[in-house]
A and B are shown apart, each in its own frame.
Chain A
Amino acid sequence: MLVMNAVEVRYLDVILVLRGVSLEVPPGEIVALLGANGAGKSTALKAISGLLETEEGKVTDGSIYFNDTRIDRMSPEDIVRLGIVQVIEGRRVIEHLTTEQNLRGGAYLRHGDVKRELDMVYSYFPRLKELRHATAGYLSGGEQQMLVMGRAMIAHPKLMLLDEPSMGLAPLLTKEIFDMIQRFNSEEKTAMLIVEQNARAALSVAEHGYVIENGRVVLDAPAAKLTDNPDVKEFYLGVGTRGEKKSYREVKHYRRRKRWLA
């Protein structure tokens, strides 16, 4: 359904951030995109949603297809109309509007009464219903995360791009959010591409995962395989770490060297 082909992205025409990323999201599937800070995960999502345009970024090579439509030259407004919605990282609620007004904003492209859509979101997040007249800027972090996700869900997208939904949330809330992601995916058949630092949470719901580093895909495997991969274990799942974070590439060198020495 979504296919990225050797995509290269530059900001301001010079800062090369993605160096030929290829990935695929099949219909109805959840795909995880993992990687350290600054690897280019958010950039990859913005390349898909077209929001690069708002940050002076451009796809300078390769292509992105959604079904049979080439979308890497399209404006974000038109890409949304194809059914791709990005939840930008950092819980960007419209602070001065109420919860419900924020949700109505998510339904901006739907015609007619959105009452049923609102109820759909409230069925996933009953907390939002209680808070529907509250000013969004004063919600807690977890509630704001629910709100931005609800704002995307209300549009019934075919593909949802989630950027770090668990950032800064307590483990219990993270679990709640990921349970909801799974439920929405199985009930609505919405495909999802989830960017996460919390690899464990993301891999627990994803069918497939990619690891990117320095703008390149360095690993690409079914989620179960990734979970078992020793390097992923060490660097993204926090199993057997020596407390210090190194890049996947460095590990490889380190291992190789160790083997030579042995």
Chain B
Amino acid sequence: MDQFLQFLVNGIMIGGIYGLVALGLVLVYKSSRVLNLAHGSFLMILAWLCWSFAEQLGLPIWLSILLVLVISVLAGLGVERFMLRPLIGQPILAVIIATLALGYLLEGVAIMAWGADTKGLPEFIPREAIWLGPVSIAQHYLWAFGIAILLFVLLYLFFRYTKMGLGMQIVSEDQQVARSLGIRVKNILAQSWAFALVIAAISGILYASLNSVNNGNALIGLTKALPVMLLGGLESLYGALVGGIIVGVFEIVVGGYMDPWVGGGFSNVAPLFLMLVILLIRPYGIFGWQRIERI
């Protein structure tokens, strides 16, 4: 029982981060209907940049993080200007393939710049475990989880109460209507990519601070965040959070009990297994848009 509780807590903690990574995918999908296959590569390379600023240039960690956030905003605006805009009018598949190419490009850059190393980010959040009865939580996991939740809340408030948030929601459903109301769709797309990459930066840095900085981190875009997104629903913000926690718990609990039996490794495929099952029974996810049909 204690072991189960421990797995559960670990799963929830890591699930928060998965949810945050998926949130970046959801934002882009919501606004532009594009599945951003480069999301994982972005979060990997932004974490590497943070490491370089802090360890190679010797900047304070908070300044390094701030710089990375600024860069992620610029990268988001750049993606709209140099990738989405030239592809206007092309099938959405062309754009998705372009994100795939961009992802490989970023991974190539990472290999050239940082090799195949594994590095650690300087510690910027405390790590000692906290004991809650029989269950221990590593503090940095708790912090990361808290930051993820905070971002979800902020984003919810943004969509609920700001004009830009309203504009994004209108663009996500009907671009022609959006334009008929005077909303500049290109700006909205650029803003949502900038948001998504800021989230990529934060989740990339948090994930790296829990584990390490290495090129393999890019994989969580496809192997964790994609199942989360499909589970939660392609357009749903809280779906990403709930989906993240479900995937995190499933991975740790099921993996935790199965790995000793199958010789390890099941936890890695658990999210993908879950994704397959979801696709079969509920293709629009738990909170995704079901088309509203009237007769």
The answer to whether the Cβ of B169 comes within 8 Å of any Cβ in the partner chain is: yes
Q: Do B170 and A105 touch across chains, with their CB atoms under 8 A apart?
A: yes
Q: Do B181 and A151 touch across chains, with their CB atoms under 8 A apart?
A: yes
Q: Which 9 residue pairs of A and B lie closest in terms of their CB atoms, listed nearest first?
A: A80-B182, A137-B292, A76-B179, A109-B182, A54-B176, A92-B177, A105-B170, A94-B173, A95-B292
Instruction: Tell which of A88, A95, A104 touches B176, judged by Cβ atoms closer than 8 Å.
Output: A88
Instruction: Tell which of B163, B169, B177, B183 touches A96, judged by Cβ atoms closer than 8 Å.
Output: B169
Chain A residues with CB under 8 Å of B56's CB are none
The answer to whether the Cβ of B139 comes within 8 Å of any Cβ in the partner chain is: no
The answer to whether the Cβ of A166 comes within 8 Å of any Cβ in the partner chain is: no
Chain A residues with CB under 8 Å of B175's CB are 54
What CA separation (Å) do A155 and B181 show in the bound complex?
9
What CA separation (Å) do A86 and B176 show in the bound complex?
11
Chain B residues with CB under 8 Å of A97's CB are 166, 169-170, 173
Q: Do A54 and B181 touch across chains, with their CB atoms under 8 A apart?
A: no
Q: Do A51 and B180 touch across chains, with their CB atoms under 8 A apart?
A: yes
Q: Give the secondary structure class of B's interface.
A: helix
Q: Do B292 and A108 touch across chains, with their CB atoms under 8 A apart?
A: no
A1 to nearest B CB, angstroms? 19
The answer to whether the Cβ of A138 comes within 8 Å of any Cβ in the partner chain is: yes
Chain A residues with CB under 8 Å of B163's CB are 104, 108
What CA separation (Å) do A141 and B295 show in the bound complex?
10
Residue of A nearest to B89 (CB): A56
Query: How large, as a class, is the contact surface on chain B?
Result: 20 to 34
What CA separation (Å) do A92 and B175 show in the bound complex?
11
Chain A residues with CB under 8 Å of B181's CB are 80, 85, 105-106, 108-109, 151, 155
A11 to nearest B CB, angstroms? 14
Interface residues of B in 167-210 (CB under 8 A from A): 167, 169-170, 173-184
The answer to whether the Cβ of A5 comes within 8 Å of any Cβ in the partner chain is: no
The answer to whether the Cβ of B289 comes within 8 Å of any Cβ in the partner chain is: yes
Chain B residues with CB under 8 Å of A151's CB are 181
Chain A residues with CB under 8 Å of B180's CB are 49, 51, 76, 80, 85-86, 88
Q: Do B289 and A105 touch across chains, with their CB atoms under 8 A apart?
A: no
The answer to whether the Cβ of A101 comes within 8 Å of any Cβ in the partner chain is: yes
A91-117 CB contact bits vs B (8 Å, 1 = yes)?
010111100010011101100000000
Q: Do B289 and A96 touch across chains, with their CB atoms under 8 A apart?
A: yes
Chain A residues with CB under 8 Å of B182's CB are 76-77, 80-81, 108-109, 155
Residue of A nearest to B179 (CB): A76
Chain B residues with CB under 8 Å of A135's CB are 292
Chain B residues with CB under 8 Å of A80's CB are 180-182
What CA separation (Å) do A48 and B292 show in the bound complex?
31
Query: How large, as a class, is the contact surface on chain A?
Result: 20 to 34
What CA separation (Å) do A198 and B93 show in the bound complex?
42
Q: Which residue, B166, B177, B180, B294, has most C-beta atoms of chain A within 10 A?
A: B180
B290 to nearest A CB, angstroms? 10
Q: Do B174 and A138 touch across chains, with their CB atoms under 8 A apart?
A: no
Interface residues of A in 61-99 (CB under 8 A from B): 75-77, 80-81, 85-86, 88, 92, 94-97
Q: Do A94 and B174 touch across chains, with their CB atoms under 8 A apart?
A: yes
Residue of A nearest to B169 (CB): A97
Q: Do A108 and B173 touch across chains, with their CB atoms under 8 A apart?
A: no
Q: List 8 A-B contacts (CB under 8 A).
A: A54-B179, A76-B182, A86-B180, A92-B176, A97-B169, A105-B170, A108-B167, A155-B182
Instruction: Using known A-B contacts A77-B184, A97-B169, determine if residue A51 contacts B176 with beta carbons closer than 8 Å.
Output: yes
Known: A86-B180, A109-B181. 14 other contacts (CB 8 A): A49-B180, A51-B176, A54-B176, A75-B179, A77-B183, A94-B170, A94-B173, A95-B173, A96-B289, A104-B166, A106-B181, A135-B292, A137-B292, A151-B181
A248 to nearest B CB, angstroms? 30
What CA separation (Å) do A51 and B180 show in the bound complex?
7
B42-55 CB contact bits vs A (8 Å, 1 = yes)?
00000000000000
What CA separation (Å) do A81 and B167 show in the bound complex?
16
Interface residues of B in 142-183 (CB under 8 A from A): 163, 166-167, 169-170, 173-183
Chain B residues with CB under 8 Å of A77's CB are 179, 182-184
